[in-house]
Structure 1
């Protein structure tokens, strides 16, 4: 699963990385830098609109389907399993045509009570986590709210030594297909899972202290080397 991640990115660089035009960046609703983002907080998403443009904007982290009468569901929706998202009523419509990329500096996973931080090979490149989105409108007088979830898949290689699940990553070569709402996402899940696993296998990771508060110190490696014994 992924229930904590870090987001300290240059939005201009993110827009360039994912081919988002300057006029399609909603800087007023994008999240502030944080090293301890949790479900229900504001995150950044990249999605393709009906106008054919890619948009970089903010979203509520926990997908609320349009048919839900309220903002709270009886089960968590900050993650969705890639194996079943296309058949689950909460996520099926979004899998079909409302897919997004959720950029991150890195993410945390836990081995028991010990957290580990995962980050890309190149610090200047954001992780592209696969996500789904949905719009909800609390009432006729309310504005539409964008909500999103992160897709997860079985962990492989290094990540599997920490946890049995990991975020599904979007390879650069599949970005266009993944964001294209005219393509049924159900047929993309298997190839995405295979290609994304190759990216995850190359991630750097290290143990960190339990994330409390905020700031860059949260991703500082823990040194577990035992002190030298002289006698």
Structure 2
């Protein structure tokens, strides 16, 4: 699979992004605060090439699931990381139930990666907006990874069996210095479920298949949609298993 957006023929689940300029933080104090918060949150995740998900297979077009399997097989189990200017590692995201887009993880501003932290966005910050949340996506993932404090031990967090997860994301359009246009995305983070909060105090906002269309299309005020999404995610969040990585890896109770 190419690392540039793919323009499919008519009926293809792949979508080519357009352009939109991304915003900037308002002050250096705000920038430093966001930097401290974001660097401590999810910065890698993975996708099992088998794409296990009876739930998402029931709501997402079969062509999209097939395209996701093809992409993940070509990725060969590599961990997905934030996108860089030199290494344009693009990751698949659902921008609709019938559309799969290769997205740039993090925002682009003035042709370069944003100088402010943009790979994650706090759900509380989104909820404070009065109007609807802007463009949204769902990021398919089998697991995400966190470093536990203060030991810095790496942990793998997933559903039992690595069943497919849908991670909530907000999107913007961006352009690199060479004029290439991309859909940029930021993972929405919420407070961690109690049983994994000893690993990290934040976790992705998980979108169950039954709430996918609502997350992608709702025009509800931001606070109302975030509250609904967090409520819908509770069952998935409590089912997450944290596994310490390494020779002595064991599920955490």
| Both structures adopt the same fold (TM-score exceeding 0.5) | yes
1:38 matches 2:86 = no
Q: How does 1:67-82 map to 2 (within 5 A)?
A: 68-82=109-123
Q: How does 1:1-231 map to 2 (within 5 A)?
A: 1-10=41-50, 16-22=57-63, 30=71, 32-40=75-83, 41-48=89-96, 54-64=98-108, 68-85=109-126, 96-112=133-149, 113-123=152-162, 125-138=163-176, 142-180=179-217, 182-209=219-246, 222=249
8 Å Cα contact 1:97-1:182 kept in structure 2: no
Partner-residue secondary structure (3-state), 2:239: coil
More helix by share: 2
TM-score, scaled relative to structure 2: 0.67
Partner-residue secondary structure (3-state), 1:191: helix
TM-score, scaled relative to structure 1: 0.73
8 Å Cα contact 2:160-2:240 kept in structure 1: yes
Deviation at 1:9, TM superposition (A): 2.8
Distance 2:49 2:236 in 1: 20
Unaligned runs of 5+ in 1: 210-219, 225-231
Distance 1:47 1:115 in 2: 30
Deviation at 1:26, TM superposition (A): 5.9
Unaligned runs of 5+ in 2: 1-40, 84-88
8 Å Cα contact 2:82-2:105 kept in structure 1: yes
